[in-house]
Structure 1
Amino acid sequence: MDGEAMKLVILETSDVHGSIYPLSYADNKPKDVGMGKIATLIKNERAGNPSTMLIDNGDMIQGTPLLYYYARFDKSRPNPMAVIANELNYDCAVFGNHEFNFGRDILDRAVSDSKFPWLAANIVNQSTGEPFFGKPYIIKSFDQGVRVAVLGLTTKYVPNWEKAEHITGMRFEDPVETANKWVPFLKKEKKADVVVLSYHGGFGRDLDTGKAIEELKGENQAYQICQEVPDIDALLTGHQHRMIYGSAVNGVTVIQPGCNGTHLGKVTLELEKQQERWHITRKMSELISVAGVEADAGLLNKVGDYEKDAQNWLDQPLGKIEGDMLVRDPMKVRTEDHPLIEFINRLQMKASGMDISSTALFNNESPGMPENVSMRDIVANYIYPNTLRVIRITGQDMRDALERSASYFKTYSGGLIEVSKAFTDPKPQHYNYDMWEGIDYIIDISRPAGNRIVKLDYHGVPVKMTQHYDVVMNNYRAVGGGDYAMFSNKPVIKDIPVDVTELIANEVLEKKVIKAKVDHNWKLIY
């Protein structure tokens, strides 16, 4: 009947990365994250909005020690994230790039354990061209007669990161072209009143100006989708771990709810029936924080045995440190070569096959590695879910990056060495001071910032400013994060799409004994 109205609410989680419990696995202290808290928000929203959909936008099954433990050691039970999502009655999920990290067996199990469909319109069978996982979209009908279509898309850049054997037989097609193929079908053939795209990818351009904010290599095409695909009502995004809400691009309402279950995304569409058809009269997007929200104890109990086993495993020794790898004075770690930094850099070099590496001591709470190393010790030191990337830089880029790091220190004029305010205010940024391996360099902090690298050698000869060098570093730094603009838009030679914490754990498990050592390839003078 004309004049009839309804409100449709679409709830989005994205990049939860296996976060279920509201805690930090480094020390088990409470933290405002996870599906336990998200569940409370979901139930509250459903109670107030009978016409509600719940969609996960990818990167669900990887990222916490709980999921790492499950994937590596506990394959007899259903995937814990599927258990959680089933309990919450998800309508569908989309594949993120990290869904493939543990291999096809774990992924296929997660899909089969799920009571909801996983969507992948642009992941197709190389031979047939048909959707590889079978389901490109869903249609959900509500009591009022409104038909809502959800089309699932994944960043086409996955083959640049993932191991070939994990994506055998798949072709990742362009999501813009795929959307332009399916959206008209959903509107005309399937008579969808509302079309929602759930895209595990983000924005390569500024939402307001359209100006490129990163190298446009096809990893994050959400802006292009909004501009080039007609008849989209809402676009759910992810991958970049950004918090985007209250925004629209070319009339398309967009949203991105951060990561690790810190926020629930909410898109509200108000519809009215006119001339026997439903029309959207108002659209909005918002993020709801889990801060201060009580976790759903009943939901957490569903995976309590998983958590108990993972916690026991976290405290089981993986191997030993021979020598001293403890951090007693963070400033000392940053002013002279330290075994913890040496170990991480050497591991990054091994994982990438490169001979130059950089990493950081992320904060002043890093305890270092004790004699008996557990997984909890690893996550206490390597606190970010970084992966690794190899980029090709010039000698000048290398020098500029070292000067950026050297500006961490105040110009020395006697007394104690101090940290520059640029690295402490308005928030601590100790993670933006890098230490390198594979080159020899000297920092003179008595000199002004920008002119402190007084020696820079590679294989015993001075680094040539115009020569190219391949360097492995974390993914955040590799895109210029932390004001390392010299790294932005550099050629990516290799991606290693495995969390560094996993690389460390695997190395300790394999070696059993790690020797604490340094080669004194760099030093600080004043």
Structure 2
Amino acid sequence: MKLVIYQTSDLHGFVYPTNYVTEQSLGILKIGTYILKDEKNYDAALKIDCGDLVQGSALTHYLSKQKLDTNPITELMEDIGYDAYILGNHEFNYGLDYLNTAYKDISNKIINANIKGLAFDSKPYRIFDINGFKVGCIGFTTSFIPNWEQEKNIEGLEFLNPVEVYGKYEQELKEKSDIIVVCYHGGFEKSIDGNNTPTEKLTKENQASELLETYDSIDIVLSGHQHRSFITRINGVICTQPMHNGQNFSKIVIDTETKESSYELVNVSLLKDEINKELEKRFIETNKELQKYLDKEIGHFKNDIILDNIFTARLKGHQFINFLHDVQLDVSNADFSALSLFDTAIGFKKNVSIRDVLINYPYPNTLKVLKIKGSKVKEAIEKSVTYFVLENNEVKINNEFLVPKVQNYNYDTFAGLTYEIDLNRDFGDRVISMKKDGKEIDLNKDYTIVLNNYRASNTAIYPAYENAEVVKEINMDMSELIIDYFQRNKEVDVPSESSYIIKY
């Protein structure tokens, strides 16, 4: 018997093949169309989604504002015939009510071994009996969620260590299964070349490598969360992780008699079939209403502030970056602002719609204001500018921000001060000056800094913020804050001067 396993992860609510500005090769409808046709080539199929499904696009933002009894995205996945779901960390971003609405009708398909306290029943593992061949699937979600998520969005929940929890169920899975599949919304914290060399700080955010080091009973790891793109064997175990937004997905074919297997990542850009009309039906009316909502004009810039080159913008500054800082400083009244420029950002034309805001800021980040010493501001800036390295007098991105996954979002710019950087100097000693209102910043003085909740909480990346006092929490999504800013300032004139100079 030939069994095919299809795995998606980090779809982030991308249903149509578009980012709502241009057509793109991605999305659930393209993937679903392929799966429904391709599965007919095999004796049986398993379809598994590994999380971050109902958050992250203009569509999911729109849906989060509606009073829905069910979520059309999970309904679409059911139309495709998914067998199992894992919760991702971003499933919690819109709050527990939204999560419960999205998953309550399919809670019997959620595999969840390490989150305690959910409002619906879920199983730690499921045994799929396929004509006598038994596939044991156990589900985990990264236990690092409390380090990022707002408390109100995870109230009453406990996130257990996946490595410890697997040990609790290992013997049962071995006894009941012909193969064991770990379905994990988390990634690999060590190299995937079999050498298990750490590739990030071992914070327990990603524990797939630790699972494989600890147990020899696992046959397949279906992972997610890191937005990487690979499928390989690690010491004999098939390990895979698709790209985000449905740019590709995993396909594993197993001969249940010989236990031989083949695998691939299916590239959505190569799928040429027209979208299945039956699948699309569920979204036709929703998409029409979404387009009206996205096209609503909310304000104006004095001039276009288009991002032509994101790398150059990060290096030299840009009006778009200045605008985001202005919004953060305006709402927080903090001394300083820190933020990253997302890879999805494209900038704004003069006339601004809700669509423009959500394309440029698709994540439901909220803001926190921290109290830190001037010395910690310098430490944060020094950490940020390790992003750039000089090679033959040419500025390039430090490989540590590119491997094993692209982490451009870990480069921050700062405002509310002016600062000067010299890339010819060693890491940790690149800041030449930091001034506020023309005066050098006192390294021993307390200041306030506004930054998004992810950066404020994930101090493994920016230890300068560790144990900092939280002065204020602004519990409104950044996209909503931008929209509100336009409603209060109908025509916005953004200064063109950057707050920083980087010499090289």
Same fold (TM over 0.5): yes
Match of 1:147 among 126, 134, 145: 134
Q: Could you say if the C-alpha distance between residues 389 and 408 of structure 1 is closer, same or farther in structure 2, counting changes exceeding 3 Å?
A: farther
Match of 2:286 among 306, 309, 312: 306
Q: Could you say if the C-alpha distance between residues 21 and 330 of structure 1 is closer, same or farther in structure 2, counting changes exceeding 3 Å?
A: closer
How far, CA to CA, are the matches of 2:333 and 2:51 in structure 1?
A: 30
Counterpart for residue 291 of structure 1: 269
CA deviations on 1:459-505 (whole Å, 9 max, x unpaired) are: 7334649999977379699989xxxxx9577765699xxxx995123
Residue 197 of structure 1, CA deviation: 1.4
Match of 1:173 among 160, 168, 179: 160
Counterpart for residue 228 of structure 2: 242
Residue 302 of structure 1, CA deviation: 2.1
Asked whether the equivalents of residues 441 and 521 of structure 1 are also in contact (C-alpha less than 8 Å), the reply is no
Amino acid at match of 2:78: N
CA deviations on 1:146-187 (whole Å, 9 max, x unpaired) are: 122211111111111222222222111111111111221233
Residue 217 of structure 1, CA deviation: 1.1
Q: Could you say if the C-alpha distance between residues 335 and 516 of structure 1 is closer, same or farther in structure 2, counting changes exceeding 3 Å?
A: farther
Q: Could you say if the C-alpha distance between residues 167 and 197 of structure 1 is closer, same or farther in structure 2, counting changes exceeding 3 Å?
A: same
How far, CA to CA, are the matches of 1:121 and 1:259 in structure 2?
A: 24
Q: Which has the larger radius of gyration?
A: 1
Q: Could you say if the C-alpha distance between residues 396 and 289 of structure 1 is closer, same or farther in structure 2, counting changes exceeding 3 Å?
A: same
Residue 352 of structure 1, CA deviation: 8.4
Deviates further, 321-330 or 289-298:
321-330
Match of 2:14 among 9, 14, 19: 19
Asked whether the equivalents of residues 406 and 452 of structure 1 are also in contact (C-alpha less than 8 Å), the reply is no
Amino acid at match of 2:13: G
Asked whether the equivalents of residues 71 and 101 of structure 2 are also in contact (C-alpha less than 8 Å), the reply is yes
Deviates further, 467-476 or 207-216:
467-476
How far, CA to CA, are the matches of 1:217 and 1:461 in structure 2?
A: 35
Match of 2:353 among 366, 374, 377: 374
What SS is found at the alignment partner of 1:291? helix
How far, CA to CA, are the matches of 1:374 and 1:409 in structure 2?
A: 41
Query: Across the two proteins, how many residue pairs are aligned to each other?
Result: 481
Q: Could you say if the C-alpha distance between residues 488 and 210 of structure 1 is closer, same or farther in structure 2, counting changes exceeding 3 Å?
A: farther
Residue 368 of structure 1, CA deviation: 2.3
Residue 60 of structure 1, CA deviation: 0.5
What are the residue-to-residue correspondences of 1:321-470 with 2, within 5 Å? 321=300, 323-324=302-303, 326-327=305-306, 340-348=320-328, 355-359=335-339, 366-371=346-351, 373-382=352-361, 394=376, 397-398=379-380, 400=382, 420=394, 422=396, 435-442=413-420, 454-457=432-435, 460-462=439-441, 464=443
Question: Which stretches in structure 1 are left out of the alignment for 5+ residues?
Answer: 1-5, 273-279, 412-419, 481-485
Counterpart for residue 253 of structure 2: 268
Question: Which stretches in structure 2 are left out of the alignment for 5+ residues?
Answer: none
Asked whether the equivalents of residues 408 and 422 of structure 1 are also in contact (C-alpha less than 8 Å), the reply is yes
Q: Could you say if the C-alpha distance between residues 196 and 461 of structure 1 is closer, same or farther in structure 2, counting changes exceeding 3 Å?
A: same
Counterpart for residue 148 of structure 2: 161
Residue 116 of structure 1, CA deviation: 5.7
Asked whether the equivalents of residues 322 and 498 of structure 2 are also in contact (C-alpha less than 8 Å), the reply is no
Amino acid at match of 1:455: S
Amino acid at match of 2:134: R
Counterpart for residue 39 of structure 1: 32
How far, CA to CA, are the matches of 2:483 and 2:8 in structure 1?
A: 34
Asked whether the equivalents of residues 85 and 114 of structure 1 are also in contact (C-alpha less than 8 Å), the reply is no
% identity of equivalent residues? 28
Residue 58 of structure 1, CA deviation: 0.5
Asked whether the equivalents of residues 9 and 49 of structure 2 are also in contact (C-alpha less than 8 Å), the reply is yes
CA RMSD of aligned residues (A): 4.4
Match of 2:240 among 241, 255, 263: 255
What SS is found at the alignment partner of 2:127? strand
Match of 1:513 among 483, 488, 497: 488
1:78 has 2:66 as partner: no
What SS is found at the alignment partner of 2:259? strand
What TM-score, normalized by structure 1, do the two folds share?
0.77
Residue 301 of structure 1, CA deviation: 2.4
1:218 has 2:197 as partner: no
How far, CA to CA, are the matches of 1:264 and 1:364 in structure 2?
A: 21
CA deviations on 1:293-342 (whole Å, 9 max, x unpaired) are: 1352311222111111111111012x324755634987997798765323
1:109 has 2:104 as partner: no
